[in-house]
Structure formats: structure tokens, C-alpha cells
Structure 1
Amino acid sequence: MQVIEQQTFTKQRIELDDKQFRNCTFDDCLLIYSGTGGTALNGCHLNNTGFAFEGSAAKTIELLTAMHRGGFRELVEATIAGIRGEPSTPATPQA
């Protein structure tokens, strides 16, 4: 994984896959995650910077959205609670 440290990015499209950013600043950027490799943002500052999913990562978001709208809201909410590190009760399987 490529490590990028103490850099400032301005008005750029930054692909996150297979990169670790440490103590970087992103001003007016768009951060893209495609799900092809790991990533990390440690000690970074985001100023007016957006985040988007593409490729496999976008497909995962589409699946979670469809499940949430299609009657599996509790399962998706439990997954999000886990991401937040919140205690959650196991979702009841639905038919």
C-alpha cells in the first residue's frame, strides 16, 4: 500500500484504493473509493471535500440501499451501527 504523508491536495479527484494518507489536507477535493484495495485516512483534514463510491464499492452501496428499501431496514441499520462501533442487537432474519 502506498503511504502519502503531510501533503495538501487542492481541487483534485483523489483515488483512495491501495493508498494510506497520513496528516494530509484535502481542500475542495473529491475522494473516490472503488473497493479494489484497502485505504486509510489518519490525521487528515477535509475542507469542502466530498466522498464518492465507484465500481464494486458503488455496487455494495446500491445493494444496501435496495435492501433498506426492500424490507430489510433493520439488517442494514444493524450493519451501520456496527460500522459506528455501536452495540446492536442481531437483526431478525426475514423471509
Structure 2
Amino acid sequence: MKTVRGKSFSGQRLVLDGKCFIECHFANCTLVAEGNGLFEMQDCKIEEDCRFAVEGPGQVLLHMLKLMLHSGGWMARVADNVLHTVRLPPKTKAPPAGA
């Protein structure tokens, strides 16, 4: 994962996939998750005028979940279970041995 540290972004479209943003500032930006990789944000400031967009494979997945939720029956239950799992807190990584 590529680390981006201490940068300020303004008026830009930024693809988040595969990046770890640390202590960055975002103003009037479009933050894009394409679903091609994970991203992290640590101690970043994101102004209220920023937007979040999901594109590419991530957008396809969200659309599929929406269709499943509204189809009823078994498919709706599966989609609801997926969303329930997403709402759970992330599992923390164990510290390296000897740390």
C-alpha cells in the first residue's frame, strides 16, 4: 500500500484504492473508491465540502446488493446479512511477534 503523508488536497479527484493517507487534509475534493484495493485514512481532516464516490467494481457490487435487498426472500436475507457484517467493527491486526 502506498503511503501519502502530510499532504493537502484541494479541488481534486482522488482515487483512494491502494493508498494509506496519514495526516492529510482534503478540501472540495471528490474521494473515489473503485473497489480495486483497500485504503486507509489515519488522522486526516476531510472538509464538509468533499464528496465520496464509488466507481468501477465497487459500484457494481453496491448495485448488486441493492437489487438483492429489493428482490425479497432469500436474496434479501443474504444481502441484509452482508450489510450487518459490514457494520461490525473491523478486527484489529495482531502485533508482530516480539513487538
TM-score tier by shorter-chain length is: 0.7 to 0.9
Q: How many percent of aligned residue pairs carry the same amino acid?
A: 27
What's 1:82 paired with? Answer: 85
Cα deviation per residue 1:6-49 (whole Å; 9 max; x = unaligned)? 11111110011111101111111101111112211111121121
What's 1:11 paired with? Answer: 11
Root-mean-square deviation over aligned CA pairs: 1.5
**4+ aligned runs moved over 4 Å, structure 1:** none
What's 2:70 paired with? Answer: 69
Cα deviation per residue 1:38-85 (whole Å; 9 max; x = unaligned)? 211111121121111111111001101111111144433332232221
SS in 1 for 2:36: coil
Aligned AA for 2:16? Answer: L
1:27 aligns with 2:44: no
**5+ residue gaps in structure 1?**
87-95
Give the whole-Å Cα distance in 1 for the aligned partners of 2:67 and 2:22.
34
Aligned AA for 1:80? Answer: L
Aligned AA for 1:60? Answer: L
Give the whole-Å Cα distance in 2 for the aligned partners of 1:57 and 1:74.
21
Report the TM-score when normalising by structure 2.
0.77
**5+ residue gaps in structure 2?**
90-99
